[in-house]
A and B are shown apart, each in its own frame.
Chain A
Amino acid sequence: DTAVSQTPKYLVTQMGNDKSIKCEQNLGHDTMYWYKQDSKKFLKIMFSYNNKELIINETVPNRFSPKSPDKAHLNLHINSLELGDSAVYFCASSQDVGEVYEQYFGPGTRLTVT
């Protein structure tokens, strides 16, 4: 009964392709996030949704498009993949929006663009 799950765990694809990463949480949380962890291990927020509404959109290329069909899901679609998109992408959720709420992270999706 994984709290935050992501699929796939590994994704290898070529430049120019379009790919999606799925995320689901069964914690009943209202807020979900996407983070990117680069080779230097820094985690950076990309997007956040609260009750299916986009509330945070950091400086991310518009090739990245999040979609939240319901509160339990936040998927990430990436168009025209580039070499620099190679990273580990983490989904997370929290009870509500705000930094006082603990975030629970998924296991990550390692994306490799060749």
Chain B
Amino acid sequence: KNQVEQSPQSLIILEGKNCTLQCNYTVSPFSNLRWYKQDTGRGPVSLTIMTFSENTKSNGRYTATLDADTKQSSLHITASQLSDSASYICVVSGDTGGFKTIFGAGTRLFVKA
């Protein structure tokens, strides 16, 4: 069964600190992996996308890594800001010719002053 599991479920950090969010998946065959940021009451916004051959991708203070062998990805947030408080969703797409995109449940990040 194709699944995307994220951890932790929620996380509280102080402003200025770094944090890392995890994503494990079983989607196969693999096409690409995206990290989305979803602010409360808003739609998800894409942060990064990585294909099989990419190990890391950065977008400002967000850096995503991918290990396609172990089927794991992480999203590292550097020098967190209050505006980083949101849900971060890992999305994995398969490569089957049909539509196979699985969304994780997300990690809810709270950044406190």
Asked if A100 is at the interface (CB within 8 A of a chain B CB), the reply is: yes
Determine if A107 and B31 form an interchain contact, defined as CB atoms under 8 angstroms apart: no
Number of B interface residues in the complex (CB < 8 A): 23
The reply to whether B44 and A105 form a contact with Cβ atoms under 8 Å apart is: yes
Interface of chain B, main secondary structure: strand
Q: Is A18 an interface residue (CB 8 A)?
A: no
Binds B, one of A36-44, A63-71, A78-86: A36-44
- In the complex where A42-B105, A48-B99, A100-B32 touch, is A108 in contact with B43 (Cβ < 8 A)? yes
Which chain B residues in 8-53 approach chain A with CB under 8 Å?
A: 31-32, 34, 41-46, 49, 51
The answer to whether residues A43 and B99 also contact, given A99-B31, A100-B32, A102-B49 and a CB cut-off of 8 A, is no
CB < 8 Å A-B pair total:
45
A4 proximal to B (CB < 8 A): yes
Chain B: minimal CB distance from A101 (Å): 10
Once the chains bind, are A99 and B93 in contact (CB under 8 Å)? yes
- Residues in chain A within 8 A of chain B (CB atoms): 4, 40-45, 48, 55-56, 90, 92, 99-100, 102-103, 105-108
